[in-house]
Amino acid sequence: MNEVRIEQDSLGTLEVPATALWGAQTQRAIENFPISGQPMPAAFIHALGLVKAACAESNAALGVLPADIADAIIAAAEAVARGEYDAEFPVDVFQTGSGTSTNMNANEVIAHLATTKLGRDVHPNDHVNASQSSNDVIPTTAHLSVAIEIERGLRPALAALRTSIERRSEELRDTVKTGRTHLMDAMPLTLGQELSGWAQQLADGEARLQATRPRLYALAQGATAVGTGINAPQGFGPLVAERLAARTGLPLTTGRNYFERLSSLDTLAEVSAQMKVIACSLMKIANDLRWMNSGPLAGLGEIVLPVLQPGSSIMPGKVNPVIPEAVCMVAARVIGNDATVTIAAQSGNFQLNVMWPVASLAVLESVRLLTAAARQLAARAIDGFEVRPVALDAALARNPILVTALNREIGYEAGARIAKRAYAEGRPVLDVAVEETGMDRATLARLLDPATLTRPG
């Protein structure tokens, strides 16, 4: 039989599992929101532990809490931040829009642990939640968790992917291939030049994330219920930001306007939008890889991606570009998450936005997915793909668009005739150009040299 105990809150009593560290308000949330079965992300809960520890430190420094109670709360909150009690946070993401249920889940678990450690009662509201409201704790935690995950995960992963691409770009700087616009043959470029474009996309993505830092690092703590700071001592918000900065190594600050920090999801929408751009970049890179790898006989066949697993349950020997495909699916998900955040950001009413939990879920998932996708793309696609020079050279030799290099010598119309004839007859453009123009073959060969054409002027 499942043993229970009786807990009480302002609404009355109810049964709670005997071994659970949470109390009545968490239990009510469990019963009220059996919606997705998905609790708040672990990264969010860990950041929430850091917020509760910093608040307890600040309350002790400002004389709100006795030192022994504050110390017990800090120890318990730090254990939550380390992930030791993740199973004690079962409240569904789809809950009250302020995240009050998750805040009270933390208050109750930390109070239970602190009471056990101290040997006397530590109250979830009066002590753990002192000088706080769910309305400033949850926005603070949202910003903090996203900032930590970006700095420790996404930014290093993007930098590593960019470095991998830059290394391959340098290796392939003299490997000439057919360029393509509209998926049609175009003037040549080097594979190194092509990859340099990918690297720049990622560098720009990193810069975009960097640009969001001042707003992401500005915290709501100290605003309490509506932004006025009711029940919080003077200087509480800045002190919490200072303590969190010391714990995380991030240059965190208190928000310049608390009313904006509570009622606006603009910063999370900004971060999400920047990640959407990064997702678009990754999808572009992944799809280029898929096209270049296509074939090997009936496609472009310019490169061979690492062979990672059988590609078909029915066609023996088939191998698919599984990593680029996975990356494309990640990009699709991140773009969808941005739509969720966009809708959530429109839902601020007066002094509070009531979609903090789902917005936090969406942004944190995007950070996590992009981090993992960037790492896998570097390690299992970019680092290991091999070039097929025979395929590259064969396409170059047949490319009638090389005649573009003769525009200054013979004009556009004459060049178009040569290109069409070369394509129709399946002959090298050089041979047709000799016949059509009467120019010296050596001169034409120099003008039409694909490698030279990658460095015009």
Instruction: Please provide residue 9's backbone torsions phi and psi, each rounded to the nearest 5 degrees.
Output: -135, -165
CA 156, 278, 195: angle at the middle one, nearest 5? 80
Nearest to 76 by CA among 115, 130, 119, 24: 115
DSSP sequence for 152-185 = IIIHHHHHHHHHHHHHHHHHTTT-EEEEEETTEE
Q: Specify whether 10 is catalytic.
A: no
Report how far apart the first and last C-alpha atoms of the chain are (Å, whole number).
Answer: 83
For tokens 């570009």, the residue is 321
- CA 259/CA 219 separation, integer angstroms: 12
Question: In the numeric block, which tokens belong to residue 89?
Answer: 């946070």
196 tagged catalytic = no
What are the percentages of helix, strand and coil residues in the chain, rounded to 5?
65, 10, 30
How many CB atoms sit inside 10 A of residue 81's CB? 20
Helix residue ranges, H only, 355-411: 356-377, 389-398, 407-410
Task: From residue 439, give the alpha-carbon distance in Å to each of 140, 167, 343.
Answer: 73, 41, 64
With a CB cutoff of 8 Å and minimum separation 6, the contacts of 196 are: 166, 169
Burial (0-12, 13-18, 19+ Cβ within 10 Å), 1: exposed
Q: Which amino acid is at 20?
A: A
The residue whose two tokens read 């969190």 is 244
CA distance 235 to 227: 14
What are the residues whose beta carbons fall under 8 Å from the beta carbon of 66, sequence distance 6 or more?
A: 60
Q: Are 232 and 132 in contact (CB under 8 A)?
A: yes
> How far is it, in rounded angstroms, from Cα 358 to Cα 355?
6
Q: Do 123 and 94 meet the contact criterion of CB atoms below 8 Å apart?
A: no
Of 36, 264, 312, 347, the active-site residue reads 312
The most distant pair of C-alpha atoms in the chain lies apart, rounded to whole Å, by: 101
Active-site choice (10, 58, 143, 182) = 182
Q: What does the block give as tokens for 206?
A: 């990193």
* Integer Cα distance of 305 and 324 in angstroms: 10
* Both tokens assigned to 429: 């453009």
Active site residues: 182, 312
